[in-house]
A = this chain, B = another copy of it.
């Protein structure tokens, strides 16, 4: 009985497990989302905007499509979120050929430097229920899931 075998054809029990995992995951995620937004409210930023800020700040210059891929969301969603962030003066969109290249503005970088460390600390506190070893385990499991799913999509 290899690992491959146990994971190739899900048993009735594993099916239940899948549903349980989904419920747990979605509850924890929603809770975490709510808390993160409450935490970031002090700086007038949402968790979505924070995620975008980090991605652009870390990888700029990048296009809207690349950003959407990194965040696993649709490009339509990015159009909306970036529209708001441009309005707020954090992000600059520069048309190049048929792409739009994203960079942070001065005030975007200011915000980045102001909140990234704080949000890192906050996010760490959300996972305090696990010790370092368990946190690594969780990251590992999520990585495996991601890899498998990417493989599935082709």
Chain A residues proximal to chain B, CB less than 8 Å: 3, 6-7, 10-11, 13-33, 36, 51, 54, 71-73, 117, 119-139, 141-149
- Give Cα A62–Cα B29 distance, bound, in whole angstroms: 24
Residue of A17, A36, A145, A146 most packed against chain B (CB within 10 A) = A145
Distance from A24 Cβ to chain B, minimum over Cβ atoms (Å)? 4
Q: Tell whether, in the assembled complex, residue A139 and residue B24 are in contact, meaning their CB atoms are under 8 Å apart.
A: yes
A2 to B6, CA, bound (A): 34
> Do residues A141 and B149 form an inter-chain contact, with CB atoms below 8 A?
no
Chain B residue nearest in CB terms to A126: B18
Inter-chain contacts of A145 with B (CB < 8 A): 28, 126-127, 129-130
A46 to chain B, nearest CB (A): 13
* Chain B residues within an 8 Å CB radius of A129: 7, 144-149
Distance from A63 Cβ to chain B, minimum over Cβ atoms (Å): 19
Q: In the complex, which residues of chain B have a beta carbon less than 8 angstroms from the beta carbon of A28? A: 25, 142, 145-146, 149
